[in-house]
Amino acid sequence: MVNSITNDASRGPGGESLKMNNGGTSVFLSVMLLAGSDIAKSGWEKSLMYWLAEKDIGAGIVGFDIADIPWRSSTFHEHKQFVLETIDRACQRYRWNVLDYDPPFVHQYLTAFLALVEEFSEAYVDESVEWQFIEEPHEFQKCAVHNVYLHRLNPDPLKCCLLCNDAPTNAWAVG
């Protein structure tokens, strides 16, 4: 299955998108969570990390459009800067040492994602867009192993870390 990240506002429906298979998507999300979880401070920034963590459901339905993120004109530049900084840190392999694999294609994914975000200008902001969570976050918790934000898709908190769930030999399985 292919997951697509689009920017219909700037590229039009059917415009060039970032396409990744499920494995590639997991790697992309992992490096974004590693990069952003350490610097997310505001509720919006933590919500973005949580929203990305929820893409752990996989199965080709985790694509999104940049406009699905609830941008606001009043905070647009600050929030966009957070996303760009997260991508930049990910490009610099921030905390990739915790991955037990070497991500092969993720640099090109990050570069394509950077272009999509850069192209999204304040003119495209739709103030009516809200976070579309699968499970509303009650509080923002992090994985004790990976220090990334957890989702709430499983009743067992130990199964709510995208990185733990993706690791072929994760800490919980060998523990």
Q: DSSP letters of 70-138? A: ---GGGHHHHHHHHHHHHHHHHTTTTGGGSSS--SSHHHHHHHHHHHHHH--GGG--TT-----SS--S
Q: Which is nearer to Zn ion, 146 or 152 (CB)?
A: 146
Q: Which is nearer to Zn ion, 125 or 164 (CB)?
A: 164
In the complex, what is the shortest distance from the CB of residue 15 to Zn ion, in angstroms, rounded to a whole number? Answer: 35
Per the rule left: phi > 0, alpha: psi between -120 and 50, beta: everything else, 28 is alpha
Q: Which is nearer to Zn ion, 4 or 147 (CB)?
A: 147
In the complex, what is the shortest distance from the CB of residue 83 to Zn ion, in angstroms, rounded to a whole number? Answer: 22
Supply the DSSP symbol for 24: H
* Separation CA 76–CA 84 (nearest Å): 12
Q: Which is nearer to Zn ion, 65 or 166 (CB)?
A: 166
In the complex, what is the shortest distance from the CB of residue 2 to Zn ion, in angstroms, rounded to a whole number? Answer: 26
In the complex, what is the shortest distance from the CB of residue 163 to Zn ion, in angstroms, rounded to a whole number? Answer: 4
The contact set with Zn ion (CB under 5 A) reads 143, 145-146, 161, 163-164
Q: Which is nearer to Zn ion, 69 or 163 (CB)?
A: 163
In the complex, what is the shortest distance from the CB of residue 86 to Zn ion, in angstroms, rounded to a whole number? Answer: 18
